[in-house]
Chains A and B, each alone.
Chain A
Amino acid sequence: MNESISKTKMVPLPSHAIIPERDASQRPILEVYRLGINFGGLVAVEDFNIAVGRTEICGLIGPNGAGKTTIFNLLTKVYQPTSGAILLDGKDTSNMNTAQINRAGIARTFQNIRLFPSLSVEDNVKIGLHNEIGYSMATGILRLPAFYKAERRAKERVMELLDLFDMTHLASHRAGSLPYGAQRRLEFVRALATNPKLLLLDEPAAGMNPSETEELMSNIEKIRDQFQIAIMLIEHDMRLVMGICEGIAVLNYGQIIAKGTPKEIQTNPLVIEAYLGKKKGDQVC
């Protein structure tokens, strides 16, 4: 189902990271050097290094509590790193806050879904389009022509984005009343609406059945191809990870224990010992 991916060659970078060959001519969208954080005494992430190519789908895996979500929170400044540097599109992000990080090009979804539950699906996506819509408060209150124009364009864009996930018929529903799978897809759409260069997905297939997961996999690849963005995902479903990720980093106790292509990861003895070895088969955790 993904021939282009299986042919992907990963090439090494000076920082010992690897990215797909097709992205190697350009600077990686994300470069992380020696990132670390501790909570009180607990070292949650230590010496985390990675580079993500501009159109790469890369996976972050590891047992529960390994520090995967913490890394997303560090990348988006929900947590302040205690050490290390994060470069987004070559630019240092150390002085940015969460909102600025998003405007600079990182969008994300959350492991425990965080929608705007009391608002409609349409409004949820429009909030994702907030910075693109851009008219002032006064324009909105005075209902100037620019208001109607921008709102009409926003509505069209919302429908285009919802259509990617066959959700247009849900536009007027309350986000909080959607079934679980639809909520996950809506979070995906909302993140996409912010026009990111890098999309972080935290366990996008959690709670999905095999056929939904199958659909999600093709959607992730479709989004990457259509929007030409990088996607980094945390996932426990090994069929999904091995199926669509080009590069994979394995985390254990806050440290990377292996990096490589799906094939390399599957045969890496360290990984098998720390993680895959616990259970034979592809469903872990």
Chain B
Amino acid sequence: MRRLRMRSSIDNCLTYGLVIVAYVVIRLLLAGGNISYALQGQLVPITVYIVMAVSLNLTVGVLGELSLGHAGFMSIGAFSGAITATLLELLADTTSTTWIRLGFSMPWLRLSLAMLIGGIFAGIFGFLVGVPVLRLHGDYLAIVTLAFGEIIKNVMSILYVGYDANGIRVSMDSANALKLDEGGTIIVNGPMGVIGITKLSSFTAGFILILITLIIVLNLINSRAGRAIKAVRDDKIATESVGISVWRYRMMAFVISATLAGAAGALYALNYSSVVARKFDFNTSILVLVFVVLGGMGNIRGSIIAATVLTVLPEVLRAFNEYRMLTYAVILIVVMLVRNNATLQHVFRQVGARLSKSLPIRRKGGEV
């Protein structure tokens, strides 16, 4: 029989430690000029995908519900966050109020507010998706989130948003339909997505978002609400029989998951000069799901490692040039086989045990 006490707090310390050490090491390498230009460009996306994977793990691993539209929430966060950042900047440029000008000319404040607004919008959409679905028994969430992701992608592709002296204008038709004044600015231009973004994201901002995500998710998991969420995963009827509303905790996990994805989306969008809705498609949802599955259901540290390795891997594999995607696919398949094959797992564990005899508890799977 396995002992679970104390393990979770040691586990959490390891997770925070891993993230902090990785951040410090990368900072040092950056300072020494030891990171390739291509890899530098991947640093913010890595932090984004870590937050995406950890937040999806809350729904898939901890709550035990399949979501196939996590990129949809990322998209909502990206668009609302980028629009927010651009509007704040325009406001800072045009306002006559000193404190607004000074305040919103600070990039970190615009970035923080953009991530906050991105998260809130994604959370609201999470709630709206959850209302009809989460009351039902059965696996309807997968289908509905799949459809949600596609709908968001298509709606965002025909969205036009502009800003002029008269305020914000929105259209689903064309940029002309916005009827902007002379000095007006187009912020979202249909299929071209959000344009003219001022790059605000940084590796440090991503690192801070990861820490906030970890604090929210890990503290939630190890509290009263988190226990209820895990109870729902293990047995819904038993959960209700002890007086816990299954609907409430399904909703809580799903909305928090969507909110964090929205914040990650905002961080992602503000890393580029423009961002298109096509980026947040089904493939992206599946990619994040792959991170979660390979990292281990409910295993937060696993999600972090999987998201990092699988985002960096294609860059590293550039050396193999035309065999790059093939190698990537082979590595994915091998990892998946190892994770699901008892014999191979046994072999790996034996090797692992020999390598680290000092560890008293052998971990298996990813229970939190």
Question: Which residues of chain A are near B250, meaning CB under 8 Å?
Answer: none
In contact, B5 and A171 (Cβ under 8 angstroms): yes
Taking CB atoms and an 8 Å cut-off, the chain A residues in 127-154 that contact chain B are: 127-128, 130-131, 133-135, 137, 139-143, 147, 150-151
Question: Which residues of chain A are near B224, meaning CB under 8 Å?
Answer: 126, 130, 133-135, 137, 140, 150
Give chain B nearest CB distance to A147 CB in angstroms. 7
In contact, B219 and A140 (Cβ under 8 angstroms): yes
* Chain B contact residue count (CB 8 A cutoff): 33
Cα distance A117–B238 when bound, in Å?
A: 11
Query: A218 at interface (Cβ–Cβ under 8 A)?
Result: no
Taking CB atoms and an 8 Å cut-off, the chain B residues in 317-351 that contact chain A are: none
Query: B313 at interface (Cβ–Cβ under 8 A)?
Result: no
Query: B231 at interface (Cβ–Cβ under 8 A)?
Result: yes
Q: A137-B252, A141-B220 in contact; A108/B241 too (CB < 8 A)?
A: yes
In contact, B223 and A140 (Cβ under 8 angstroms): yes
In contact, B2 and A173 (Cβ under 8 angstroms): yes
In contact, B246 and A147 (Cβ under 8 angstroms): no
Give chain A nearest CB distance to B242 CB in angstroms. 5
In contact, A173 and B1 (Cβ under 8 angstroms): yes
Cα distance A142–B223 when bound, in Å?
A: 10
Taking CB atoms and an 8 Å cut-off, the chain A residues in 189-210 that contact chain B are: 190-191, 193-194
Q: A122-B5, A127-B231 in contact; A137/B242 too (CB < 8 A)?
A: no
Cα distance A116–B233 when bound, in Å?
A: 8
In contact, B235 and A115 (Cβ under 8 angstroms): yes
Query: B237 at interface (Cβ–Cβ under 8 A)?
Result: yes
In contact, A99 and B219 (Cβ under 8 angstroms): no
CB-CB nearest in chain B for A116? B234
State which of A114, A123, A150 has its C-beta within 8 Å of the C-beta of B235.
Answer: A114
Question: Which residues of chain B are near A193, meaning CB under 8 Å?
Answer: 242
User: Interface readout for A94-115 with B: 1 if CB under 8 Å, 0 if not?
Assistant: 0001111011000110100011
Cα distance A43–B169 when bound, in Å?
A: 62
CB-CB nearest in chain B for A147? B223
User: Interface readout for B50-76 with A: 1 if CB under 8 Å, 0 if not?
Assistant: 000000000000000000000000000
Q: A118-B367, A137-B223, A177-B1 in contact; A191/B242 too (CB < 8 A)?
A: yes
Q: A140-B226, A143-B219, A147-B223 in contact; A127/B4 too (CB < 8 A)?
A: no
Cα distance A10–B42 when bound, in Å?
A: 78
State which of A76, A117, A119, A123 has its C-beta within 8 Å of the C-beta of B241.
Answer: A76
Q: A137-B252, A141-B216, A141-B220 in contact; A116/B230 too (CB < 8 A)?
A: yes
**B interface residues, Cβ below 8 angstroms from A:** 1-6, 215-216, 219-220, 223-228, 230-231, 233-235, 237-246, 252, 367
